[in-house]
Amino acid sequence: MSMIISGFGFGLVNFVTVLGMMDSFKEEFPSAYTSSSFSSFIGVAALPPILGYIVIAHGERVGLLSLGILSSSLLLSGFFTSSRAQTLGTTEEERLAKTRYSGMTDETGCLIEESMDCGYIPGDSLNYWVTLFSNHRAHMCMVLIAFISAFLYISWSIFLVPYGESLGLNSTDAVYLSTSGGVAGIIGKASSLVLFRWESSVIPAGVIMPTVLLGVAYGISLFSANFTVLILVAFLSGFSLSLVSCVCFAWIPRIVCPGHFQGAISVGYLITGVATVLGGLPIGIMVDVTGHYRQAFALMALSSFVASMIAVFWYLFIEESKT
């Protein structure tokens, strides 16, 4: 039960933190989101061995207590995150300027005006979700790519080491595949920080190219059992998946109106959560039925190329909106 409550709480914290970042950083949201994602990646890598050492040295009770104390540091983040109510100016002009990117509120005249541009009628919940999906085509592309990338990530992370062992690698060498992918993931997230400085190149270099690389990498892994080649494949996979996940969410303010930002974020997290929970299921069934991993990685390669084609449409929709 405690794990269920913890998972629910962390999910809510993650969502609200993203909204707070949008309030605080506005136009710099992509860089802020990527910095946060990069830091969380470091935390995911560092926390298990640290807690493992504490549990071994001092027991599970102290380990859980340490985790609770660490989680309590989130209170400081909430305290220092800007509040939408605190950004309101004393004049109408200041209020509109400061709340332009603050999210969906019926009181913000500027926000309502921009929302009406996409057909959204403030206060109409059904119309809100209909217009989010019908009038923001680039967002639909982002959702599909986020789902595929989350599916690929969970499948790849679960079956990478067993796949290496099935090709004849010993367990020690197979673990290095995961290490290579993890290091590449850190590089991928750091690369997106640089990429956001050239907005016109974000989708081609941050989504189209990585998804094509994923397809090629998975395709190569079908025909080679060489350890060096598999290390390279794991590296390309970790780099590409991390870069795509950062771009998909960090770029949401650029592809939806301010009134639909909260909805777009919530849909993105929902769809990636579903893909994360169910992602390993079809691959696991395929491995159980066929008895080996080649068909599974072939499916992952095909999914990557499908994502790259969707990314092309995403780019075309953005270019069309500029004309």
Q: What is the pLDDT of residue 114?
A: 38
What average pLDDT does this structure show over 45-70?
78
What average pLDDT does this structure show over 64-75?
76
Q: How confident is the model at residue 115 (pLDDT cuts 50, 70, 90)?
A: very low
Q: What is the pLDDT of residue 15?
A: 67
Q: How confident is the model at residue 103 (pLDDT cuts 50, 70, 90)?
A: very low
Instruction: Return d(Cα 269, Cα 147) in angstroms, integer.
Output: 9
Instruction: Return d(Cα 166, Cα 182) in angstroms, integer.
Output: 21
Q: How confident is the model at residue 177 (pLDDT cuts 50, 70, 90)?
A: confident
Q: What is the pLDDT of residue 111?
A: 34
On whether the CB atoms of residues 142 and 248 are closer than 8 A, the answer is yes
Q: What is the pLDDT of residue 86?
A: 41
On whether the CB atoms of residues 145 and 207 are closer than 8 A, the answer is yes
Q: What's the pLDDT tens digit per position in 254-279?
A: 888 888 888 888 888 888 888 887 77
Helices 29-58 and 171-195 meet at what angle, rounded to 10? Answer: 150
Q: What's the pLDDT tens digit per position in 116-147?
A: 356 656 666 778 888 888 888 888 888 999 89
Q: How confident is the model at residue 238 (pLDDT cuts 50, 70, 90)?
A: confident
- The count of C-alpha atoms lying within 13 angstroms of the C-alpha of 286, restricted to the half-sphere facing its C-beta, is 15
Q: How confident is the model at residue 85 (pLDDT cuts 50, 70, 90)?
A: very low
Which helix (H) or strand (E) segment is 215 a member of?
helix 209-221
Among 24-38, 135-149, 191-205, the range scoring the smallest mean pLDDT is 24-38
What average pLDDT does this structure show over 172-183?
74
Q: What is the pLDDT of residue 106?
A: 34
